[in-house]
Structure 1
Amino acid sequence: MRPDVAEYQVMVAPNGARRQKSDHPALPMTAPELAQVARACQQLGVSGFHLHVRDGSGRHSLDAGRYREAMSAVAEAAPGLAIQITTESAGIYTPQEQLSCLAELRPTAASVSVREMAQDPQEAARAYALCDEAGTQVQHILYSPKCIAQLQAWYDSGLVPTQMRDAIFVLGKYVPPVAAAPDDLLPFLKVAESMQLNWSLCAFGRQEQACLLAAIQAGGNTRIGFENNIETPQGDLLADNAASVAGLIKAASVAGHELRKG
């Protein structure tokens, strides 16, 4: 492989915790809709599925039963696709409730917010110990360089097992709305330079694709989908999550990068 060619993987985040059908009619809310997105995106080469579930009112949920229903539907529709649940609070759940979700599901993979867990270090310690015992692949959600510093402190203290090196950098945010830009990645890379993280990137706003291309060039993986952005780089509505994924893969190919599947 040429030294200027980067290999990368894609995870799709098809709905998130906040957007509704009123934001985009193709936003998946139910288990069958999530399964349909999983199948379409797997066919494009996506290797991971970042799963949020909703309650009967469309509200973000950490309900284990709803997770099991959705995980089963996705696994049936897209065999072999890696499924990652989230324990994101979205301003609703406490660290204790996030731990309860992990304890009940004992999932293969989960994303866990360092900033949210830092609200209760004792519960954080229990959550990471549980994941270590259960073999859950933890992806640390890092919203800022401050979160990276907190994660390093937890490695140093032993609160987080040193082998848990998966992380996702988050550029931009929902509330208040802040759109990401590619240069926003640089402070994350500087602070995390010596940590040997297996990192991915997600980015809010219509520069999502440009941010993800910068991540690929820097040696990271990518997470894309309607959780973070529903617009093309030109500001038009994307047709669906598959269109978002296809656009990134095409742009990365034009830039000379190679998609790594599975």
Structure 2
Amino acid sequence: MTKPCILCVAITGSVPTKADNPAVPITVSEQVESTHAAFEAGASICHAHVRDDDGRPSSDPDRFARLMEGVRAHCPGMIFQVSTGGRSGAGAARGGMLPLRPEMASLAVGSNNFPTRVYENPPDLVDWLAAEMIRHEITPEVEAFDLSHIHQAAAMHARGALYGRLYVQFVMGVKNAMPADRDVFDYYVKTMARLAPDAEWCAAGIGRHQIEVNEWAIAAGGHTRAGLEDNVRLDRDRLAPSNAALIARAAALCEKHGRPVASTDEARAILRLRPAA
């Protein structure tokens, strides 16, 4: 298979702290430096969360603006993808950074359980976030924590409620949500082919499942995500030294399965994004 594989680096997230792994980048300057190293290792998308001065999750548009500026300056052509996830704010605050017009933004289209809470994505909020992405010409990366989310994404895209090319990410291994199960993964792939044959998809595994889900996705012709947001370890005995190390591991799997790692230009073409600014 010669189709290029897009590698997305999830640099920080809302949960990991330096107590979990000192390599987790918290400040904007740390995030830019960590993203640059991952970019050099093969990542063409930066999936970004920001933190406040106390290290807590934030939706602060000013911090997103500084991070986007830094990534664009140090990682030419890299696709910047903001998170609109619910740990960083509530209601419209979750989309407060969308006027910055990043190329992409994450979008959860349904609710599900997380380890200790309900991840609430009510229909009115989902519709508003999707409309804001249309308004600012931002392609969503739909984060599917459940089979129903794939069906919802396909239906929304078919009726013109999602901007750009449909791109769905299977998130597997979150406690109380969809486990990292190979039969389920294979069914997700078949479901995407049936409901949205023109779409692209990727997959992310949480914790120890990161490496196996990376390989499933790469071998099956999809794209994949790695990084310290999802997994702070290389294995049971070793912390990951950087985001770049986790991206390099995914890039090695691409080589194993005969797939080139997508350049930023190739990633933009595959996802039908606007050219780099």
Is the 1:85–1:110 contact (alpha carbons within 8 Å) kept by the matching residues of 2?
yes
Match of 1:108 in 2: 103
Separation in 2, partners of 1:252, 1:95:
38
Match of 1:145 in 2: 147
Is the 1:144–1:188 contact (alpha carbons within 8 Å) kept by the matching residues of 2?
no
Q: Residues 108 and 6 (structure 1 numbering): CA distance in 2 closer, same or farther, change over 3 Å?
A: closer
Q: Does 1:76 align with 2:73?
A: yes
Q: How does 1:145-184 map to 2 (within 5 A)?
A: 145-155=147-157, 158=159, 160-161=161-162, 163-173=164-174, 175=175, 180-184=180-184
SS where residue 80 of structure 2 aligns? strand
Q: How does 1:19-34 map to 2 (within 5 A)?
A: 19-34=16-31
Compare 50-59 and 143-152 and name the one that shifted more.
Answer: 143-152
SS where residue 138 of structure 1 aligns? strand
Q: State the shift of 1:72 in Å.
A: 1.4
TM-score w.r.t. length of structure 2 = 0.83
Q: State the shift of 1:216 in Å.
A: 1.3
Match of 2:205 in 1: 203
Q: State the shift of 1:183 in Å.
A: 4.3
SS where residue 257 of structure 1 aligns? coil
Match of 2:224 in 1: 222
Q: Residues 122 and 74 (structure 1 numbering): CA distance in 2 closer, same or farther, change over 3 Å?
A: same
Match of 1:243 in 2: 245
Q: Residues 127 and 217 (structure 1 numbering): CA distance in 2 closer, same or farther, change over 3 Å?
A: same
**What do you get for the CA RMSD once the two structures are aligned?**
2.4
Separation in 2, partners of 1:184, 1:208:
16
SS where residue 207 of structure 1 aligns? helix
Q: Which amino acid aligns with 2:143?
A: I
Match of 1:96 in 2: 92
Separation in 1, partners of 2:128, 2:261:
36
Match of 1:45 in 2: 42
Q: State the shift of 1:182 in Å.
A: 4.3
SS where residue 192 of structure 1 aligns? helix
Q: Residues 119 and 35 (structure 1 numbering): CA distance in 2 closer, same or farther, change over 3 Å?
A: closer
TM-score w.r.t. length of structure 1 = 0.87
Match of 1:193 in 2: 193
Separation in 1, partners of 2:46, 2:164:
22
Is the 2:138–2:163 contact (alpha carbons within 8 Å) kept by the matching residues of 1?
no
Separation in 1, partners of 2:178, 2:135:
37
Segments of 5+ residues of structure 2 without an aligned counterpart are 112-118, 265-277
